[in-house]
C-alpha cells in the first residue's frame, strides 16, 4: 500500500510566522530600547512580544498588517513592564518640560524640532524620549522615527487619528523641552532671565 504524505499544519504555521513576523525584529528591538532602561529589558520585552504574537498568530487575518499588529503587541508588553516596575510620569513634570521649552525657545519650536529630528539617532534624543510620558513618546517615535502613518499609529495605540495628531504635536514639544533643559542647564536659565528682564518682567 503506497505511503500517503500528510501536511504538517504546525510546521506550516511556524514557517508562516517566521516569514511574516521575523523581518521586523530589528526595528522592534530598536523601538523597545528607546522605551526601556537597558538593552536587556528591551530584549526581554521583544521576546515576550514574540511569544504573545505566536500565541495569537492564527488570529492575524491580513498579513499585510503584521508590522502594526506586532508593534501593538510590543507596546502592550512595555506597558505591562512599566506597571510592574511602578514607573509613573507626573503631570507636574509635563508642565515643567513645556515651560522649559517655551522659556528657552519662545515661538521657535518648529526650528527647534527640526534640530531634534536631525539628531534622532543621538543618545540625548533617546534620553529625552525615555523621560517624557509614554503616550507622547510613542506617538513621536512611531511617526518620526519608524515612519508609520497616522491611521497606522491609531491602530497600534488604539486611539482616534485626531488624538494621534495631538499626541505627536505635544510629544514633539515635550521632547524639545526635555532636550533643551538637559543641554541648556544653568546658562539657559540665565538667558531666559535676561530675556524676561529685557521685556520688563521680573528677573
Q: Average pLDDT of the chain?
A: 76
Q: Which domain holds residue 129?
A: 91-198
Q: Do 143 and 71 share a structural domain?
A: no
pLDDT (0 to 100) of residue 73: 93
Average pLDDT value for residue range 10-19: 84
Among candidates 124, 129, 123, which has minimal Cα distance to 172? Answer: 129
Q: How many domains, the chain?
A: 2
Higher pLDDT, 42 or 64: 42
Q: What is the CA angle 178-168-103, rounded to 5?
A: 35
pLDDT (0 to 100) of residue 48: 92
Q: Is residue 69 part of a domain?
A: yes
Summarised one tens digit per residue, pLDDT across range 121-149 is 567 778 888 888 888 999 998 988 888 99
Q: Is residue 2 part of a domain?
A: no
Q: Do 73 and 154 share a structural domain?
A: no
Q: Do 157 and 136 share a structural domain?
A: yes
Binning pLDDT at 50, 70 and 90, where does residue 20 land? confident
Q: Is residue 3 part of a domain?
A: no
Q: Do 172 and 96 share a structural domain?
A: yes
Q: Do 170 and 152 share a structural domain?
A: yes
CATH assignment at residue 98? 1.10.10.10
Higher pLDDT, 171 or 111: 171
d(CA 175, CA 34): 13
Q: Is residue 4 part of a domain?
A: no
Average pLDDT value for residue range 162-179: 87
Whether 193 has a pLDDT exceeding 80, the answer reads no
Whether 200 has a pLDDT exceeding 80, the answer reads no
DSSP annotation of 8 = -
Q: Please report the DSSP string for 135-178 in residue order.
A: HHHHHHIIIIIS---HHHHHHHHTS-HHHHHHHHHHHHHHHHHH
Among the ranges 30-34, 82-86, 102-106, 112-116, which has the highest mean pLDDT value? 30-34
pLDDT (0 to 100) of residue 7: 62
Amino acid at each position: 500500500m503506497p505511503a500517503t504524505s500528510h501536511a504538517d499544519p504546525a510546521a506550516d504555521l511556524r514557517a508562516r510566522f517566521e516569514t511574516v513576523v521575523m523581518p521586523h525584529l530589528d526595528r522592534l528591538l530598536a523601538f523597545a530600547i528607546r522605551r526601556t532602561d537597558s538593552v536587556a529589558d528591551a530584549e526581554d520585552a521583544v521576546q515576550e512580544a514574540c511569544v504573545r504574537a505566536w500565541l495569537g498568530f492564527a488570529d492575524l487575518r491580513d498579513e499585510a498588517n503584521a508590522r502594526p499588529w506586532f508593534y501593538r503587541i510590543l507596546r502592550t508588553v512595555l506597558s505591562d513592564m512599566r506597571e510592574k516596575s511602578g514607573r509613573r510620569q507626573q503631570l507636574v513634570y509635563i508642565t515643567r518640560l513645556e515651560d522649559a521649552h517655551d522659556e528657552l525657545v519662545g515661538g521657535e519650536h518648529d526650528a527647534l524640532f527640526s534640530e531634534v529630528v536631525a539628531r534622532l539617532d543621538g543618545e540625548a534624543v533617546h534620553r529625552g524620549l525615555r523621560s517624557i510620558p509614554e503616550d507622547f513618546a510613542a506617538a513621536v517615535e512611531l511617526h518620526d522615527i519608524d515612519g508609520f502613518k497616522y491611521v497606522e499609529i491609531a491602530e497600534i495605540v488604539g486611539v482616534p487619528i485626531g488624538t494621534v495628531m495631538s499626541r505627536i504635536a505635544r510629544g514633539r514639544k515635550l521632547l524639545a523641552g526635555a532636550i533643551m533643559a538637559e543641554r541648556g542647564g544653568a546658562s539657559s536659565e540665565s538667558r531666559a532671565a535676561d530675556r524676561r528682564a529685557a521685556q520688563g518682567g521680573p528677573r
